[in-house]
């Protein structure tokens, strides 16, 4: 545990109150404006939410996995755009640096990531390399006192706001798959690095993704993550293990929120002379959602504890991501059904969550990739 139990409980309660009182009232506005108001961004920074997982010696809270999950279970009870704003600094945008960065690299970036002064992005995906991340084509050629990078990264979360990118590029064309891939820390404003226009998405309005384009982008040797070539793919995979667990917690939180909203609606909405919650067919939907969300919560907490105990949880993290993201899809679908016509109308916000939830089954590894990771690990362990 990074924090005393009382301090941690207080933090969880503070985040829960902040979500309830400050963020939930803004959900519709954030979606309409496709932007989080600047004053809210500042409040998020003041609460320390950008630095939840960054080690304390670099100005963060240094939460362990269980603590991180407990916060995600609160932060996820509102539009995912708010979580996404701090998601990269606490997850895929900083983890590679924390796990494998040199002391100089950590000291240079982590304190500013912890305060939110600097936003980070994880640039792995490419137009031709999505699920098959190891086939990425971006190249990093050794030239003079550093490397020259060329390539395009696609759908990169927070790219329009980022000051720091962890870019994965091929340093060794002769080595297949992920083996010839290295990670680079590249600052926004570096000549040769440019950001495309923000993507237009199905949901998660207020959270932004864009292309990151590298054209003869020259970086010094010091930009090579950890100072070691061809270790980037492993860094990416380790990063995703933790990221997948975090996303699983966010799925549980959104499911719990939708169940709460559905229950409230079902108890208030009357048809055939009684609240629809009295009907067993509505009860079945509520009960299935509750049971599934509870199962996912238990999985996430257990896996987080195992990770904190030092166990390799690559399989379990994939199990959590697979189950929790599919679960919230079903819960969101039932929430629309319980709300009936109102569930389809934008004014009630349920259809927005339905669209927002769809991404969870895709990013940080699709459900099919989680299945592959789980099955492969099972076979490996048995052979």
- Return residues touching ligand COS (CB under 6 A): 122, 124-125, 131-134, 177-179, 233-234, 237-238, 240-241, 314, 363-365, 369, 372-373
Contact 147, 223 (CB under 8 A): yes
The position carrying tokens 């907490």 is: 301
Contact 300, 249 (CB under 8 A): yes
Q: How many CB atoms lie within 10 A of CB 216?
A: 11
**Cα Dmax for the chain:** 80
Count of alpha carbons within 13 Å of 358, Cβ hemisphere only? 12
Q: For the chain, where are the E strands, in sequence order? A: 120-123, 139-143, 146-157, 164-170, 181-187, 193-195, 209-220, 270-271, 274-275
For the residues of 364-379, what is the DSSP string, one character each?
TS-HHHHHHHHHHHHH
CA distance 68 to 110: 17
Taking the chain, what is the end-to-end CA distance rounded to the nearest angstrom? 36
Among residues 27, 126, 316, 364, the one annotated as catalytic is 364
CA distance 109 to 152: 24
Q: Is 364 a catalytic residue?
A: yes
- Tell me the catalytic residues: 364
């Amino acid at each position: 545990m990074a924090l005393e139990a009382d301090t941690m409980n207080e933090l969880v309660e503070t985040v829960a109150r902040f979500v309830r009182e400050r963020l939930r009232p803004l959900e519709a506005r954030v979606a309409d404006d496709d932007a989080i108001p600047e004053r809210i961004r500042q409040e998020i920074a003041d609460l320390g939410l950008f630095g939840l997982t960054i080690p304390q010696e670099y100005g963060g809270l240094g939460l362990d996995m269980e603590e991180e999950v407990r916060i995600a279970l609160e932060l996820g009870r509102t539009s995912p755009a708010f979580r996404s704003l701090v998601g990269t600094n606490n997850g895929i945008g900083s983890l590679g640096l924390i796990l494998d960065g040199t002391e100089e690299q950590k000291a240079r970036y982590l304190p500013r990531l912890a305060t939110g002064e600097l936003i980070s992005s994880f640039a792995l995906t490419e137009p031709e390399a999505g699920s098959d991340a190891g086939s990425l084509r971006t190249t990093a050629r050794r030239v003079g006192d550093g490397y020259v990078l060329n390539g395009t990264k696609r759908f990169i979360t927070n790219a329009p706001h980022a000051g720091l990118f962890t870019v994965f590029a091929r340093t060794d064309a002769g080595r297949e798959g992920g083996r010839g891939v290295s990670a680079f820390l590249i600052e926004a404003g570096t000549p040769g690095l440019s950001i495309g226009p923000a993507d237009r998405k199905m949901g998660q309005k207020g959270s932004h993704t864009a292309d990151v384009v590298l054209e003869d982008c020259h970086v010094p040797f010091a930009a090579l993550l950890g100072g070691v070539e061809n270790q980037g793919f492993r860094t990416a995979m380790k990063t995703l293990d933790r990221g997948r667990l975090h996303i699983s917690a966010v799925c549980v939180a959104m499911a719990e929120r939708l169940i709460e909203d559905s229950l409230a609606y079902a108890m208030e909405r009357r048809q055939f002379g009684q609240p629809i919650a009295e009907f067993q067919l509505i009860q079945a939907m509520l009960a299935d959602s509750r049971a599934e969300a509870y199962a996912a919560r238990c999985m996430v907490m257990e896996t987080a504890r195992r990770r904190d105990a030092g166990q390799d949880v690559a399989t379990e993290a994939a199990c959590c991501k697979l189950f929790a993201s599919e679960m919230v899809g079903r819960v969101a679908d039932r929430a629309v059904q319980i709300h009936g016509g109102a569930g389809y109308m934008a004014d009630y916000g349920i259809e927005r969550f339905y669209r927002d939830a769809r991404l969870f089954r895709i990013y940080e590894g699709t459900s099919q990739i989680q299945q592959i990771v789980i099955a492969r690990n099972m076979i490996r362990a048995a052979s």
